[in-house]
Amino acid sequence: MLEFISQNIGFFFKVVITHAVTYILCGMFFYKVNNYKEELIDKNKGLNGAKWRSPSDKVYQLIPILQLLRGALLGIVLVIIKNAVYDVSFGFLKLFVVLFVTGLINVYQPAPDSIEGYIYIEPEKGLTAKDIIGGNVEIATQIMLFSIIVTTNWGALFSRLVG
């Protein structure tokens, strides 16, 4: 067991840090693109009908720590499937598909924009295509960046390019 941990601890931390960094960078970029400032000001309006917490809310202020926790949970799962996605042909695409399907469109609860959400949640009146698609583009972008970074063996790639 200790050997398994020592062989995978670097990959685990790579997942944790990559999740947090790509989450923050995509969040900053799409904050402007999707005009989240307006969403946060108008508490009665929310992305895909969901209501936003106020930035002064204590939970909202814990976002960086909670993203590290989410990254750690993701790291535990990805260590289990590491051999199927890390440093293999199209590993980034395999991981992207797994995360996109299980994390966005086929989640096990009726979340907005998931299949379960479309079945059980009545659509918010007045939603535009941008309201519906905007958040999904952000999440898909973050998942793709995350998948590329996590599944690439950067040391081997650098050696092939230089050597």
Longest dimension (CA), the chain: 58
- The pLDDT-based confidence of 43 (bands split at 50, 70, 90) is low
Contact assessment for residue 20 and residue 107, using Cβ atoms and an 8 Å cutoff: no
Q: What pLDDT is attached to residue 36?
A: 76
For the cut 60, the answer to whether the pLDDT of residue 44 exceeds it is: no
Tokens describing residue 45: 């309006």
Residues 148 and 18: their CA atoms lie apart, in Å, by: 10
Q: pLDDT value at position 48?
A: 53
- Helix spans in the chain (H): 2-33, 36-41, 58-61, 63-80, 82-85, 91-100, 115-120, 129-151, 154-162
Q: What is the pLDDT of residues 105-161, one digit of tens each?
A: 999 988 878 888 888 888 776 667 766 777 789 999 999 999 999 999 877 766 777
Closest to 38 (Cα-Cα) out of 47, 26, 49, 28? 47
Whether 23 shows a pLDDT value over 80: the answer reads yes
Q: Which two tokens stand for residue 148?
A: 């590329």
Q: What is the pLDDT of residue 139?
A: 92
N residues, the chain = 163
One-letter identity of residue 117:
G
Q: Which residues contact 41 (CB under 8 A, 6 or more apart)?
A: none
Residue-range domain boundaries for the chain: 2-162
Angstrom distances, CA of residue 52 to CA of 41, 43, 47, 48: 9, 6, 8, 11
